[in-house]
């Protein structure tokens, strides 16, 4: 199995499902952030994963570090700082509040790198446009949620994004996640079965995880795309990105 570093936001995700009044709401608190979810997913698939990022010196930060460690993600390089851990809140799957400022702080990154890197734009801009990518065999860069921050590209960087993100992106996305239409890699498109997802948040994280795992395991290109699209379909019944990841 491969060694891979992961850089991106670390969040507490709060999901509120509200139907007929405040007192009948369902509230779920889970580890979150695309980078965190992909780190856990790749570790569960057998890869050696290190994560770089920031958490607060609070009970939420401790909770997230414990969850990452439980899933065999190396948290040695996650820094504890005197701020609140980042939080993402949705109501009926629509974002209503995000506190992400801690993710823009500097990171602790060791000199010795892994073979591969996964990164999102939920980290500070200095990292996003640095030369860090030159130190890896290949970098998988999910351009969400802030693709406009990216102003440089290295040859070993593989860009992944959803249709909206890729449309106005400065560079060309190698893989485009098309939502209910499936996904596209070059000229190849693999469609979903057509069944509507019960819960959509986190399906992109599942796609990234299975897609990257396929490349790391040298699976044939078309099969990788099929596997990634099918995986998102199978876990769409689970509320929360984290719950989707641990049920791949």
For residue 193, is pLDDT > 80? no
Rounded-to-integer distance, Cα 114 and Cα 39, Å: 13
- pLDDT in the model for residue 196: 79
What are the tens digits of pLDDT across the range 146-159? 999 999 989 999 99
- pLDDT in the model for residue 195: 73
For the residues 206-235, what does the mean pLDDT come to?
96
Closest CA to 209 of 47, 82, 26: 47
CB 74 within 8 A of CB 51: yes
Rounded-to-integer distance, Cα 150 and Cα 120, Å: 10
- pLDDT in the model for residue 24: 81
For the residues 176-188, what does the mean pLDDT come to?
93
Burial-class residue 67 by CB neighbours within 10 Å (0-12, 13-18, 19+).
Answer: middle
For the residues 131-146, what does the mean pLDDT come to?
96
Annotated domain spans of the chain: 3-8+33-81+101-246
Q: What is the CATH class of 3-8+33-81+101-246? A: alpha beta
């Amino acid at each position: 199995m491969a060694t891979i570093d992961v850089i991106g936001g670390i969040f507490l995700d709060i999901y509120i499902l509200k139907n007929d009044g405040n007192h009948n709401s369902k509230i779920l608190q889970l580890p979150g952030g695309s980078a965190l979810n992909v780190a856990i997913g790749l570790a569960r698939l057998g890869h050696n994963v290190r994560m770089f990022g920031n958490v607060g010196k609070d009970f939420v930060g401790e909770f997230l570090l414990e969850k990452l460690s439980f899933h065999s993600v190396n948290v040695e390089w996650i820094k504890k700082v005197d701020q609140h851990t980042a939080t993402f809140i949705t109501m009926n799957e629509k974002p209503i509040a995000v506190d992400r400022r801690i993710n823009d702080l500097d990171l602790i990154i060791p000199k010795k790198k892994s073979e591969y890197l996964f990164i999102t734009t939920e980290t500070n801009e200095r990292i996003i446009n640095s030369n860090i990518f030159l130190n890896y065999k290949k970098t998988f860069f999910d351009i969400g949620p802030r693709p406009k921050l990216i102003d440089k590209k290295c040859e070993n960087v593989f860009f992944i994004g959803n249709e909206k993100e890729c449309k106005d992106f400065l560079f060309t996305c190698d893989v485009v996640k098309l939502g209910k239409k499936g996904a596209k890699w070059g000229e190849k498109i693999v469609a979903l079965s057509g069944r509507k997802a019960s819960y959509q948040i986190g399906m992109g994280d599942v796609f990234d995880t299975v897609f990257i795992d396929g490349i790391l395991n040298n699976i044939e290109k078309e099969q990788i795309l099929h596997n990634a699209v099918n995986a998102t379909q199978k876990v769409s019944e689970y509320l929360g990105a984290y719950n989707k990841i641990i049920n791949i």
